[in-house]
Amino acid sequence: MASIFYSEQAPRSLSGAVVELDWTLVVLLCLAGGAGVAMLYSVADGSWSPWAMQHAIRFAAGLVLMMGLALINPRLWMMAAYPAWGGTMVLLIAVELFGANRMGAQRWLDLGPVSMQPSEFMKVALVLALARYYHGLSPERARSILGTLIPLLLIAAPAALIAHQPDLGTAVLLVLTGGAVVFLAGLNWWVVMLAVAAVAVAAPLSLEFVLHDYQRERVFTFLNPEADPMGAGYQILQSKIALGSGGAWGKGFLAGTQSHLNFLPEKHTDFIFTTIGEEFGLAGGLFILGLYAMIAARAGWIAVNCRSQFSRLAVTGITTTFVLYVLINVAMVAGLAPVVGVPLPLISYGGTVMLSVMAGFGIILSAQINRSQRLEQTRALL
């Protein structure tokens, strides 16, 4: 049944696609991007450089990219799903072989004046590949163990490469996103419970034998940051101080002390939500979270109204990635989760993250424009 917000007939022309575009979602994304520009202007002590202007330019480029991708038919996204996954895997292997090492991690590819982080693009490519796979499966096979083996490979291969960089935060986010798509595709509850039990058993073993020393230290710091207040616990303690000092309404724009006096590390990337809480208080933090909730709800409504299995799973997977970005980042800066280096989407400074998020929403808008299109059922792998 068609939604009251959307017409039954999919648009047949470029002008029709532009009219049909979910402009409410576009405006919400622009508000989030604008909030990012404002906060980056603030943490630079009222200066457009070095972050705010760059962020504005990147968001504008991402907006153009998103609009362009929205005009592509989902049938082409389905055709490109496996090549996108395979191409991004090649880039991840290239990172392993000759990637740039920064801050003790080998996560980037330097391409002349431009650098990129392929792990960010894998979040979108993985969702497309899983949606493509399940679009060609019967419900019975989707619930079977045999039908789950290929999705597990699609998830595990890139997650292992990303964890080795090391980038545990992105690897965990990739596994959670992939798991959500597999579950929504019809995975049996008993398989889910078995996976949860396996994680519960593997977690303490991983802590002891798999994690790097600095990752193990982050877990212990999360459990007791006061044990080393001037060392490992410094980041999270300063973040808590800044969030608490903002009170209900905050100290005012450009008036934050923890960030402006450089007590807060990574104030323009992973910990930018802390500056929001300090300058705009609980009210400002809730406004940003409410904005994110409206974006996620709008994307979820698009997923519900898509007729094809591929579009529904693609939209749901991309939305799940976006929500996990927000939840992990906010929990991290509030001391409710270990510091794992997950940025706040559209607000934190970062070019690759910005482009991957906007590309994801371009695919969501493509599904929304063509929501009444029924893609033919095909074999799982072609």
Q: What is the dihedral of CA 366, 147, 96, 353, to 10 degrees?
A: 30
Model confidence pLDDT, tens digit, residues 17-67 = 777 889 999 999 999 999 999 999 999 988 999 999 999 999 999 999 999
Q: Considering only 71-85, 88-102, 121-135, 139-153, which range has the smallest mean pLDDT?
A: 139-153
| Cα–Cα nearest to 245, from 268, 277, 270 | 277
Name the pLDDT band for 374 (thresholds 50, 70, 90).
Answer: confident
Q: What is the CA radius of gyration of the chain?
A: 21
pLDDT at 10: 47
Name the pLDDT band for 195 (thresholds 50, 70, 90).
Answer: low
What's the CA gap between 178 and 155, in Å, rounded?
6
* pLDDT tops 50 at residue 8: no
Tokens 């996560």 appear where?
107
User: In degrees rounded to 5, what are phi and psi of residue 165?
Assistant: -65, -40
